[in-house]
Amino acid sequence: MAELTTKLENSSIASPKTQGNNNNPVSPTKNEDLYQVSDRVWLILTEKLGSGGFSEVFKGYKENKSCKVAIKRIKQSEADDPKSKELDILQSTRHDNLVLYYFTERTSDYLYYVLELANYSLDGWIKLGNHDNDTLTKVCKDVATGLKALHKKRIIHRDIKPQNVLIFIKEETGKLVPTGKLADFGISRILNEDEEAALTTKGHVGTQTYLPPEAPEAEEKMELKLSFDIFPLGILFGFAMTGGQHMFSWPGQTAYFEIKTKIKNNEPNWSLLDEKKFTALKNLLQVMLSTDPNKRGTISELLDHPFFWTEEEGYQFLVKVSKEIKNEKACNTAVTFAAQKFLSDLPDWKVRLDDKIQEWIKEKDMELMELEKSKTHKPNALNDNWRKYNGRSIIQLINFIRDQDEHYINWLSSELEDERIFGNKQLPKYRSYFMRTFPELPTLLYNVLQDQKFQRRETAMFYKHNLNSLFELKSK
């Protein structure tokens, strides 16, 4: 298949408004150059969406021209090659995160795969810019979920890259919501049952800048495993989250052969992920971009990582950790260890909080001191929900977030009723504030607690797999 080529002029494949589906019939415009393939399929020759070595993709219509679709036209000779599994895969997989296949038409020269029409490819959609972090994370999770469905069926995609991920935009309660779907099974392989790897003589197909380091040069033999897909998926996550950067591109070194060398030498450009909002992504990619395919984790294990969590899930994890700390001494010890990493950059977590909150904490501390001085005070009698929080303890930070969540109505209504910080007393905004202020916290704790075997594992639901120290806290 052809080397990375951007097929989408103006990035747009179809606007959500013009895209047809069965609920939203479309009719052809007068000047469309239509080619009738069969009594139920028409190609719009003037609207080519892409082309590769053996195929071309066009916009078109199906069924009385009532529904706009994408049509992939492939030469018979290519489609009939026993190695080609594209049609088998299209027919046998149905999943929300895999491109939807309708049916195939055959003529003497070509096969026409009729597919649902996407609004964008991932690269075109990323180039539009202006996507918030949650939306980008959601799309990454979609693609990973699509890959999980493939891997469950022992299908190796083999050509994961932004051009092979399609974006479908749907309107949901007044908001445009994108869904990512994996497409293009042109060079995919299916492993037999009990087979861990397939032998292929063509290691070097696919897109150069997305090939994992084990892909051999030229036409050497190689063992193709599911882990082959994890590496380019990692590059794709980096591409999406950084607004289109390649994880192996360095300043002044963005040519494909330079990127390839960096991949072979295992030199990802981590400086692309320096901001603290990228902590979870970096921690995940340090695994996915491993040179050793056996250290990349399976797609199911990876999907449990905090990178894919919503802010609310991150918050719920912290609550569970705080319970685990109470019940399990070993948890307390592990969290204290995490604190050393976390707090070496940040000797007092309070300084990250908004000035107003810091001020408020000081006032509360003063109040408590006054109470303690007064003879009438019995410990905890008046102010059960306030204690002095030590800025050098990560356990105290978790407690602070959780305690104040429980009592937030009290303190928000008085001292801190501030739209700017908490969005008018909305609990999700309150939680979101803390998750954005300490974005590294869930990842850090997830790492140090990944292998702990506690009697009372409060966080069990977050650890579905036995991770065997899969994730690592590295400072590079």
Ligand X SMILES: Nc1ncnc2c1ncn2[C@@H]1O[C@H](COP(=O)(O)OP(=O)(O)OP(=O)(O)O)[C@@H](O)[C@H]1O
| Contacting positions for ligand X (CB under 6 A) | 1-2, 5, 7-8, 13, 49-53, 55, 57, 70, 72, 99, 115-118, 121, 159, 163-164, 166, 183-184, 186
Smallest gap from residue 274 Cβ to Mg ion (A): 32
Give bridge partners of residue 98 from the DSSP assignment.
Answer: 182
> What is the token pair recorded at 44?
């719009």
Smallest gap from residue 8 Cβ to ligand X (A): 5
Q: Could you say whether residue 164 binds Mg ion (CB under 5 A)?
A: yes
Cβ contact 133:84 at 8 Å: no
Candidate segments 150-158, 162-170, 257-265, 435-443, binder of Mg ion by CB under 5 A: 162-170
b/e 199-237 (16+ beta carbons within 10 angstroms → b): ebebbeebbebbbbbbbeeeeeebebbbbbbbbbbbbbb
Smallest gap from residue 208 Cβ to ligand X (A): 12
Closest to ligand X by CB, 88 vs 292, is 88
Distance CA 67, CA 26 (A): 6
Cβ contact 59:41 at 8 Å: no
Closest to ligand X by CB, 113 vs 317, is 113
Q: Could you say whether residue 396 binds Mg ion (CB under 5 A)?
A: no
Distance CA 79, CA 85 (A): 8
Residue 288's binding partner among ligand X, Mg ion, none (Cβ under 5 to 8 angstroms by kind) is: none
Distance CA 457, CA 425 (A): 32
> What is the token pair recorded at 412?
């928000």
Write each residue from 184 to 213 as x if it is in contact with Mg ion (CB under 5 A), else as -, in one continuous string: x-----------------------------
Smallest gap from residue 171 Cβ to ligand X (A): 18
Q: What's the full length of the chain, in residues?
A: 476
- Determine how β-strand 110-116 pairs with β-strand 101-106: antiparallel
DSSP of 105-160, one letter per residue? EE-SSEEEEEEEPPSEEHHHHHHH----HHHHHHHHHHHHHHHHHHHHTTEE----
The percent helix, strand, coil of the chain (3-state, each to 5) is 40, 15, 40
Closest to ligand X by CB, 13 vs 285, is 13
Smallest gap from residue 50 Cβ to ligand X (A): 2
Candidate segments 134-142, 180-188, 296-304, 412-420, binder of Mg ion by CB under 5 A: 180-188
Closest to ligand X by CB, 116 vs 458, is 116
Size of the site for Mg ion (CB under 5 A): 2
Q: Could you say whether residue 123 binds Mg ion (CB under 5 A)?
A: no
Residue 117's binding partner among Mg ion, ligand X, none (Cβ under 5 to 8 angstroms by kind) is: ligand X
Closest to ligand X by CB, 8 vs 149, is 8
Closest to Mg ion by CB, 121 vs 450, is 121
Cβ contact 163:52 at 8 Å: no
Q: Could you say whether residue 84 binds Mg ion (CB under 5 A)?
A: no
Closest to ligand X by CB, 49 vs 334, is 49
Distance CA 279, CA 314 (A): 13
Instruction: Give the footprint of Mg ion on this chain (CB under 5 A).
Output: 164, 184
